[in-house]
Amino acid sequence: MGIVMAKKTKSALENKKGVSISEITNTSKIKSIKDKRKTGINTDALVASILNKDITALSRAITLIESKNPKHLEKANTIIKGCLPYSNKAVRIGITGVPGVGKSTFIEVFGKHLTAIGKRVAVLAIDPSSSITKGSILGDKTRMENLVKDDNAFIRPSASGESLGGVARKTRETIILCEAAGFDVIIIETVGVGQSETTVHSMVDFFLLLKLAGAGDELQGIKRGIIEMADAIAINKADGDNLKKAKLAKVEFNRALHLYPEKSSHWQPKVTLCSALKNEGIDAIWEIILEYVKITSENNYFNTKRNEQNKFWLIQTIEDQLKSDFFNTPKIKSALKNQLQLIETNQTTPFAAADYLLSINN
């Protein structure tokens, strides 16, 4: 009887208001969330939570860093400043390779190997954004389904946006937060489109290049570029019928690497074979990285490189801010639109237009 009366009461309320009880409940939840947001962000509490290895707080802080909302910039800077004294304790590894080389599979297996030996691993995966829709799939968590379940791993996919290859100041700042949160190894996966590798190289300690055997690019090692930046080359998918090709490719790459002059780090880049699918050769790659860290720490190159990277990012940050300030100036916005129209009608040149815009900004 009581159940019947309750149902009638619920029905009467719904008929009277014209809405269901569930809708009222959902509205109350949304209002509660909005009320919490209005209370603002306690940066001190957020920093304390990050230092206490709170992944939720870390994710929230990274969202602030990635936000384009000017109101979030000051809070993000405060959080970074609070975390900075607790950073610089992790090994930073950049991993790159052409699409299809198996970066995501390799990173998952490599990450699981590291967590198995007691390391905490943060993966900053950059997903390419569409130049047309500006959208991004952000599917790295799906591709690394085993690693994402690991309590000692943190995966943060980010859209590349319009930045060079998808890595810039925001990735650099995210590294600081992850280190403050107690992660021992930071892995940055590049888009793998060429120019992004240079940017990633400027923020990591060790740069790993994944290659495929039989892809027709074994001899590309004799050319300067991405090979020259690599601290190690891992030829992936070295299994089954492809193992023989992989061994031949290893010989070719070793020959090519010896053509380069000795690095200032006094480190001779190594070539190794691995199969992420078969979980083979992964431990050898970690041993190579540890050997690199040991050698470069002893000859002080490790710290020297980090200092040079800090100087580079100082200049880069100034340039980015000047560029942002320039294009957001109201008179520049108006004049730029006019100059673009003049260029389209051949009434001025790009160089003359640039000189004019720079002159009116002084």
C-beta of residue 112 within 8 angstroms of C-beta of residue 150: yes
C-beta of residue 43 within 8 angstroms of C-beta of residue 78: yes
pLDDT of residue 127: 63
Measure the CA–CA gap between 347 and 353, rounded to whole angstroms: 10
C-beta of residue 73 within 8 angstroms of C-beta of residue 170: no
Measure the CA–CA gap between 50 and 62, rounded to whole angstroms: 11
Length reported for the chain: 362
pLDDT of residue 141: 53
Measure the CA–CA gap between 177 and 111, rounded to whole angstroms: 19
- Give the CA distances from residue 148 to residues 73, 139, 174, 227, 315, in Å, rounded to whole numbers and listed in that order: 29, 12, 18, 30, 35
pLDDT of residue 137: 38
Pairing of strands 153-159, 185-189: unpaired
pLDDT in tens, the chain (362 residues): 454 445 454 454 445 445 555 555 555 545 544 444 444 689 999 999 999 999 999 999 999 998 878 788 889 999 999 999 999 999 999 998 888 888 889 999 999 999 999 999 999 987 654 433 333 334 455 668 889 899 999 999 876 555 543 456 788 899 999 999 999 999 998 866 555 677 788 899 999 999 988 765 544 443 457 888 899 999 999 999 999 999 999 998 898 888 888 888 999 999 999 999 999 999 999 999 999 999 999 999 999 999 999 998 889 888 888 988 899 899 999 999 999 999 999 999 999 999 999 999 87
Written in H, E and C, the secondary structure of 223-289 is CCCHHHHCCEEEEECCCHHHHHHHHHHHHHHHHHHCCCCCCCCCCCCEEEECECCCCECHHHHHHHH
Torsion sign (Cα): 114, 118, 119, 120: positive
Burial string for 106-128 (b: 16+ CB within 10 Å, else e) reads bbbbbbbbbbeeebbbbbbbbbb
Measure the CA–CA gap between 234 and 281, rounded to whole angstroms: 9
Q: Which run of H or E residues covers position 122?
A: strand 121-127
Residues whose CB falls within 8 Å of the CB of residue 119, separated by 6 or more in sequence, listed in order: 152, 184, 185
pLDDT of residue 239: 92
Domains of the chain: 22-81 (1.20.5.170), 88-298 (3.40.50.300), 311-360 (no CATH)
What angle, 0 to 180 degrees and rounded to 10, lies between the N-to-C axes of helices 55-66 and 43-51? 130
Residue 361: strand, helix, or coil: coil
Question: Beta partners for 153?
Answer: 121
pLDDT of residue 50: 96
- The Cβ of residue 138 has, within 10 Å, a number of other Cβ atoms equal to 15
